[in-house]
Chain A
């Protein structure tokens, strides 16, 4: 019998079977279901319609609701949508809800939290899920957001679903899945200081195209992946969807276990590995020393080029944020280039979560607790002329017209986000280049797309930032 991959083993376990193979349709038990303010109201509506007004969710310990998309906007419908989540949480008695308590039923823009340590609000769901201990190896996570695949970095099966699927799972704890075949992307060597996982995933997507992994698992393997921080691995799996992938997955190692042990209340989970005779539908290997800093040009994440080739592209705006590029290590990457310098173009910084925002105030440039006379990461970014906004999805997906950092005209923007579809950041006339936080920071300094090797002269230490 053929061996199985991590994804196949997780699916087999959750369907009560010893063996599954790609192409089979199976019903699985779901460990965690996550929704947010954009898809929650629709999901809740379908749940009530299909299961009845007095129905209860299948397991309230397994439902996580994280408002993150449209929080800092005066759009009253957005405030109302947060209230729909609150009403559902109260009705169901759900323990895992992260309320933006400053969003009140009042006209106008809500006042953001003053202290990121003193709010129940978290920010981007894909960052908050592992932070709050809802992500464990070997589990199945569904979320009403395509970037739910981010959590595959922790050795689990995580994928995005729509409102109907989410409502079905809310009532039953189950969903049907087709077992995907696995593509294996193997990286050798150690990550060089001028690259981040963003460059690796842009390399992969450029290689296979935006539909290259449709219906498939993207498995990121090798010493090169082990050399990445856990946060950087999340950047890889986050963008599996940009190649059409059903999920992305990484091996579990000591970095994963350290993080999950520290965060998860549930202490038992199962670590799966690929069998030696596991079957792959595609295999490709790279040596990290041969890779250059990359960008994805407008208007597609697979429109790959080197940052070097794009040096004549003038930029009007830079954006550092999102589930892809708004983690604390991303902030350290950017700050290490911006330190003591001044940005030439408006540069918007959006922490991925309130924990990231808190760490930006708490930590120094090497990810350690800052001393009394030392600059914090946020200080360094502010000193360089960046505008720092409150945590959330913000302008990554455009959002309502009053969203922080949103594009409104014919700007050229270089961004650490994940999508550059037409209109994605708010303007159909704008052009978005996707790049690593290093490349975005370097480009913000010069006003044109800039290879970060011009600025990165030594390894960037991130210490325990984003871990403990």
Chain B
């Protein structure tokens, strides 16, 4: 597992639901088809209202039109990130666009599970609310082992909560790898 992630951050607000992360009209793509899977990257965050997309200014797309990859390696949200539908397409879309870590005050549980068990993203919880202290495009360094996030642009450092019980699953790369390493599944 990559434990230090450096890159630009894309800032969102509270209650970012999975319909905003990947609107239902795109769910006809099959994530198991490598060609179709790319479109989840193209449409990641397509349902976020323009004014809320890339705070504080808004009107910034996570992925530029007709591109498959995002400029942002890190997504930052507030409370209840990933609420709503259980669609695994949501963490998959963010990861497919190229992001590796999400930071939020706390997560809706199915989204959190999907991040962890599917091995898509590291869902880190921030100790304090960072949405208003961070601007889209700031350069961050997320140090997962040391539970720290450094804003290089603003020269500030903030704490993350320990990953806790799910850390072994995240380190293994998902629930399948974890269960194999734990001897619960036969090797593939």
Contact = CB atoms under 8 A, between A and B. Distances in A.
Interface of A: 25, 38-39, 41-42, 44-46, 48-52, 69-70, 75, 77-78, 80-81, 84, 144-146, 148, 160-165, 168, 171-172, 176, 178, 210-211, 214-215, 241, 244, 246, 300, 397-401, 419, 421-424, 426, 428
Given A42-B89, A162-B110, A78 B19 contact: no
B188 A211 contact: no
Contacts of B179: 168, 172
A423 B113 contact: no
A244 B176 contact: no
Nearest to B177: A50
Interface string B22-37: 0111011111110010
B56 interface: no
Nearest to A148: B86
Contacts of B47: 422-423, 428
Given A38-B87, A211-B83, A214-B80, A81 B30 contact: yes
The size class of the interface chain B forms with chain A is 35 or more
A42 B49 contact: no
Contact of B88 (A162, A246, A401): A162
Contacts of A241: 84
6 contacts: A44-B32, A163-B114, A168-B179, A210-B80, A401-B25, A423-B47
A150 to B, nearest CB: 13
Contact of B15 (A49, A161, A300): A300
Contact of B25 (A39, A81, A398): A398
B126 interface: no
Nearest to A161: B86
Contacts of A160: 86, 110
Nearest 5 pairs of A and B residues by beta carbon: A45-B32, A162-B88, A162-B114, A160-B86, A77-B28
Given A50-B176, A246-B109, A163 B49 contact: no
A421 B47 CA distance: 10
A244 B185 contact: no
B108 interface: yes
A46 B177 CA distance: 13
Given A42-B31, A176-B175, A421-B84, A146 B19 contact: no
B174 interface: yes
A146 B110 contact: yes
B176 A163 contact: no
Contacts of A172: 179, 184-185
A423 B117 contact: no
Contacts of A69: 27
A211 B16 CA distance: 12
Contacts of A246: 109
A148 B110 CA distance: 12
A165 B19 contact: no
Contacts of B165: 25, 178
